[in-house]
A and B are shown apart, each in its own frame.
Chain A
């Protein structure tokens, strides 16, 4: 049994066939070639498949694909551009927050969502914000460094934490 879904993916409308039980991650990666959405586990633990669904962080391996019908999905491809990185990406670059980088899109998206929904925070809050994402390389320290420095910057620019919008 297949169902047809129409949704906005990174600013463009797409219509695609899926199955009721197909995870969004699989639909994105295999039917829409959105390889920027990574695949790591099937249990929602690692967070490499994180996307924003109507600007809220979800793990696309646990999200049934039909659920996105009529909604808006943003992946890392819609965060910043090569010429003009999103402030979160800039801080990840400046703070050496990526090593192998496989988890990085998920962390960037989780951080974007965190800043969207947070006014003031400290390192402990940042830890809680990213504890649903796994990184095997960095020990999380430099990711937390990146997020911490965003606190200072985004205070001045709180109106548009999503940067490129």
Chain B
């Protein structure tokens, strides 16, 4: 195994990227629409996902879940349940391993759990459990929950072994209770700038609680071998998950091993980290019974305990000059964490704080964000944590500000955009590669081409809107702390095994990795097998498949390993053939020299193993400019998204078809956020916790015409110029549609989803939610 000192690899990797960014890569691997390596098993139905896995002598778990949102469990009697035929163990909440206290904090919280020989028996036994709960006054509104006198859901910043919890100092005297996280920041003098601004525009926005609705419901199988816990389940961030689970269960990190099923299913952040009422429950039952225990969420529990996007409330105040220059922005956000933290309250807040400064020049800026515990169902990660919500608020607001100043919203944005090489207003260094201007220009050109010849009938309202969005690639600040390693082994038959920390969740990362190896080494992508290395391996990677880092960082490590493998292979071949390395060309698994053409397998006598490494010294921002045209039915308020153009800077498209697929998927989640989806609750009880009642987008809700414009800004720090795509492509979608609705009806829906009833009321200048209030 060859291994270089940390640091040298990444600098070489960056250097290599620079060269490639200037010279378009050849078409032998990257930059081509290579077919997905996993596609055959998926179209044939032979792929085995988390909920398909079964193991010998496995018990089935069922969980008794709270129907009341807030209370203290006084007694839980599992005797009768334990006596049921087929039941092997029944545990009350307090008997579960880990940090379970006697408090119920949301509908769906765990009261007790049963393990039985079959699922039906386990569920039947739940009916035999008797319990007594003292109900407490619940709190469902985050803005109320944070104030003095509110019912206490948790002490401020409880130690529930969440990753990245950080010390906070709350400077707002009104924020007293139930604080999950808090961020305050300012630069310049906002008060002065607002006092002297030509226009000051103030407005509030609310974003809904929404669910990933991954179709493969949560399913895990927990088992113990001596003191070693093994959990098989689909998780994207395995190293972090092992640490959190170990801390929560009060066992060593090394004593937890998480493996993914043969084919992991979609995540969108919903499968990044463990969940309180999931893995720990299965682990406890398995420990109690000494047998493997399988716990699967029914669909309704997905909504109760599978985590949602944080519901947020924003207040934005922007100062501008007469000629459309932003002079100040004051932002306040309150995010609803629900009954338990998922460790990402702080990401909601930091993304809300930082992302506007990646996009616009804002000389005076003040930000305050708080995430708050309530008795609602828990919130957690969902594609574009915080940035999806924040971008909706900001880009809606910018649209209003542009209208106030009397400027075209696109011109207004261009006037205030940060340019490449320009320092951010918070002093955080310059934007390296932006691509946003090209996104705007190409997106607009395509949008106009499609929509210009459209005429509308007199009985429909047509509106057009644009929104920008940006998100950084990777998990953090690009401070070099996030690293990834990859191991490549070429066997003597010429095939290559790539071991990475990636998890193929449908995003296509395995295919991308095989393309990179194919490109660097000169083998066909089909000759590359991509595997996950276990967290116990000597290879380094702390985060796995999260934060749009797979292609950028894991891909960087694979590329680094690929260049090493290529150079070692060429050396070996030139020795074997007694020629100069410069005369060796390897293409499609075949070695070409001036004198001969032979296959790699004819020449390679010993396998070659190399390790590559990439370090996130940067956190490049990816940009998108999205354009929407909507048609509103004035008789019903129904919104039809007729046209959508997503122009997205991806740095470099390693697989253009899969890039399109990511963009189209982002548009779906954005369309839902804009006009379809909301997990409604009545006193903390979700009202639409089934796929029959909760509205997910079908092809009918999708734009009639959807065009993706792939912009390639050649990011110097990413492999071949690539940067993150999955997360950054979502935030601009919903505000583009919201702005188009505003354009169509003359009033703004500030609380998506813009359902037909909300739009119908808004057309008459009325507020549906005030006149027909929803309990919460």
Interface residues of chain A, those whose CB is within 8 Å of chain B, are 29, 35-36, 38-46, 48, 75-77, 79-80, 82, 85, 89, 92-94, 96, 98-105, 108, 127-128, 130-131, 134, 136-142, 144
A77 to chain B, nearest CB (A): 6
A142 to B52, CA, bound (A): 26
A17 vs chain B, min Cβ distance (A): 14
Could you write out 14 A-B pairs with CB less than 8 Å apart? A45-B690, A77-B45, A79-B45, A94-B35, A96-B33, A100-B264, A101-B265, A102-B215, A127-B700, A136-B268, A138-B668, A140-B664, A140-B702, A142-B660
Complexed CA–CA distance, A29 and B507 (Å): 27
B471: CB under 8 A from chain A?
Answer: no
Which residues of B are found within 8 Å of A144, using beta-carbon distances? Answer: 699
Given A93-B35, A96-B36, A82–B698 Cβ distance below 8 Å? no
- Residue of A96, A100, A128 near B657 (CB, 8 A) is A96
Bound together, the chains give a CA A39 to CA B214 distance in angstroms of 11
Q: Which residues between 575 and 607 of chain B lie within 8 Å of chain A, taking CB atoms?
A: none
Which residues of B have CB within 8 Å of A128?
700
Q: Are B268 and A142 in contact (CB under 8 A)?
A: no
CA gap between A29 and B49 in the complex, in Å:
13
> Which residues of the other chain, B, contact A96 by a CB distance below 8 angstroms?
33, 35-36, 657-658, 660-661
CB–CB A40/B45 < 8 A: no
**Cα–Cα distance between A98 and B508 once the two chains are bound (Å):** 10
* Given known contacts A98-B36, A130-B699, A89 and B44 CB-to-CB distance under 8 angstroms: yes
Residues of B contacting A99 in the complex (Cβ-Cβ under 8 angstroms): 266, 506-508, 661, 665
- Complex interface: chain A residues within 8 A of B265 (CB): 100-102
With beta carbons under 8 angstroms apart, the residue of A75, A94, A142 that contacts B45 is: A75
The 3 nearest A-B residue pairs measured at CB: A100-B506, A101-B42, A76-B45
- What's the Cα separation between A104 and B40 when bound, in Å? 11
Which residues on B sit within 8 Å (CB–CB) of A44?
Answer: 692
With contact pairs A136-B212, A136-B214 given, residues A127 and B266 touching in the complex (Cβ less than 8 Å): no
How far in angstroms is the closest Cβ of chain B from A30? 8
Q: Considering the chains assembled together, what is the distance between the CA atoms of A137 and B702 in angstroms?
A: 13
A48–B700 contact, CB under 8 A?
no
Query: By DSSP majority rule, is chain A's interface helix, strand, loop, or mixed?
Result: loop
Most buried by A among B48, B216, B298: B216
Min CB gap A99→B, angstroms: 4
- Contact A43–B52 (Cβ < 8 Å): no
A40 near B691 (CB under 8 angstroms)?
Answer: yes
A96-B658, A100-B264, A130-B699 given. 11 additional CB < 8 A pairs? A40-B215, A79-B45, A85-B40, A100-B266, A102-B49, A102-B215, A127-B700, A134-B215, A137-B266, A139-B667, A139-B706
Contact between B691 and A101, CB atoms less than 8 A apart? no
Most buried by A among B263, B506, B706: B506
B: which residues have CB within 8 A of A?
A: 33, 35-36, 38-49, 51-52, 212-217, 263-266, 268, 298-299, 505-508, 657-658, 660-661, 664-668, 690-692, 696, 698-700, 702, 706
Give the distance in Å from the alpha carbon of A131 to the alpha carbon of B657 in the complex: 23
Question: Nearest chain B CB to A70's CB is how many angstroms away?
Answer: 25
- Within 8 Å by CB of A98, from B39, B46, B215, B696, lies B39
Q: Are the C-beta atoms of A42 and B690 separated by less than 8 Å? A: yes
A92 to chain B: closest residue by CB: B43
A138–B43 touching, CB < 8 Å: no
Compute how far the CA of A136 lies from the CA of B213 in the bound complex, rounded to whole angstroms.
7
* Nearest CB in chain B: distance from A22 CB, A: 10
Q: A41-B299, A134-B696 are in contact. Are A85 and B44 (CB under 8 A)?
A: yes
Contacts of B698 in A (CB 8 A): 131, 134, 140
Which B residues lie within 8 Å of A93 (CB)?
35-36, 39-40, 43
Known contacts A136-B215, A137-B266, A142-B664, A41 near B690 by CB under 8 Å:
yes
Q: Please state if B43 and A85 are interface contacts (CB–CB under 8 Å).
A: yes
Q: Are B692 and A45 in contact (CB under 8 A)?
A: yes
Question: How far is the CB of A89 from the nearest CB of chain B, in Å?
Answer: 4
Total residue contacts A-B, CB cutoff 8 A: 163
B residues less than 8 Å from A92 (CB atoms):
39, 43
Q: What distance in Å separates the Cβ of B8 from its nearest Cβ neighbour in chain A?
A: 36
CB-CB < 8 A to B42: which residues of A? 98, 101, 104
**B387 → chain A, closest Cβ, in Å?**
20
Look across to chain A and name the residue whose beta carbon is closest to the beta carbon of B506.
A100
Nearest opposing residue in chain A for B663, CB measure: A139
Find A108's partner among B35, B43, B48, B691 (CB 8 Å cutoff): B43
Given contacts A43-B691, A75-B45, A98-B36, contact A138 B664 (CB under 8 A): yes
Among B33, B43, B214, B690, the most chain A Cβ lie within 10 Å of the Cβ of B43
Bound CA span A130–B667, Å: 18
Tell me the smallest distance from the CB of A66 to a CB of chain B, in Å: 17
**A104 nearest CB neighbor, chain B only:** B42
Residues of chain B within 8 A of A85, CB atoms compared: 40, 43-44
| Cβ contact within 8 Å between A101 and B702 | no
Q: Which residues of A contact B49 (CB under 8 A)?
A: 38, 102
* CB nearest to A91 among chain B residues: B43
With both chains docked as a complex, state the minimum distance between the C-beta of B112 and any C-beta of chain A, in angstroms.
23
**Chain B residue nearest in CB terms to A101:** B42
Minimal beta-carbon separation of A57 from chain B (angstroms)? 15
Q: Is the CB of A140 within 8 A of B657?
A: no
Q: Which residues of B contact A39 (CB under 8 A)?
A: 51, 217
The complex places the Cα of A134 from the Cα of B702 at a distance, in Å, of: 12
Q: Are A139 and B664 in contact (CB-based, < 8 A)?
A: yes
- Whether B36 contacts A141 by the Cβ 8 Å rule is no
**Residue of A whose beta carbon sits closest to that of B48:** A35
Query: Are B266 and A40 in touch, CB under 8 angstroms?
Result: no
* Bound Cα distance from A127 to B701, whole angstroms: 10
- CA A45 – CA B696 in complex, angstroms? 10
The CA of A39 and the CA of B657, in the complex, are separated in Å by: 28
Select A41's contact among B43, B665, B691, B700, beta carbons within 8 Å: B691
Contact present for B299 and A42 (CB under 8 Å): yes
Distance in angstroms between the alpha carbons of A40 and B698 in the assembled complex: 16
Given contacts A35-B52, A76-B44, contact A102 B700 (CB under 8 A): no
A36→B699 contact, CB < 8 A: no
Structural contact, A101 and B506, CB atoms closer than 8 A: yes
Q: Once the chains bind, are B216 and A142 in contact (CB under 8 Å)?
A: no
Q: Is the CB of B299 within 8 A of A137?
A: no
**Nearest CB in chain A to that of B696: its residue:** A134
CA distance A41 to B51 in the complex (A): 12
Give A62 Cβ to nearest chain B Cβ, in Å: 10
Residues of B within 8 A of A94 (CB): 35
Which residues of chain B are within 8 angstroms of A138 by Cβ–Cβ distance? Answer: 661, 664-665, 668
How close is B123's CB to chain A, nearest CB, in angstroms?
A: 13
From A61, which residue of chain B is reached at the shortest CB distance? B299
Closest to A142 in B: B661
**Chain B residues in 8 Å Cβ range of A41:** 215, 299, 690-692
Chain B residues contacting A89 (CB-CB under 8 Å) are 43-44
Residues of B close to A36: CB separation below 8 A: 45-46
| Chain A residues closer than 8 Å to B36, beta-carbon distance | 93, 96, 98
Which of A79, A100, A136, A142 has most B Cβ within 10 Å?
A100
The answer to whether B690 touches A101, judged by C-beta atoms less than 8 angstroms apart, is no
Q: How far is the CB of B594 from chain A (nearest CB, A)?
A: 38
Tell me whether A137 and B506 are in contact (CB under 8 A). yes
Q: Which residues of A contact B660 (CB under 8 A)?
A: 96, 141-142
Q: Which of B33, B508, B690 contacts A43 (CB 8 A)?
A: B690
Instruction: Give the distance in Å from the alpha carbon of A43 to the alpha carbon of B265 in the complex.
Output: 20
B-chain residues with CB within 8 Å of residue A45 when the two chains form the complex: 690-692, 696
B contact residues around A127 at 8 Å (CB): 699-700
A48 and B43 contact, CB distance less than 8 A = no
Complex interface: chain B residues within 8 A of A42 (CB): 298-299, 690
Contacting pair B658 A139 (CB below 8 A)? no
Nearest-neighbor residue (CB-CB) of A132 within chain B: B698
Residues of A within 8 A of B507 (CB): 99
Measured between beta carbons, the chain A residues less than 8 angstroms from B664 are 138-142
With a CB–CB cut-off of 8 A, which chain B residues contact A77? 44-46
Specify which chain A residues have a CB less than 8 angstroms from the CB of B706 in the assembled complex: 139, 141
Closest to A42 in B: B299
Instruction: Establish whether residues A38 and B692, one from each chain, have CB atoms under 8 Å apart when the complex forms.
Output: no
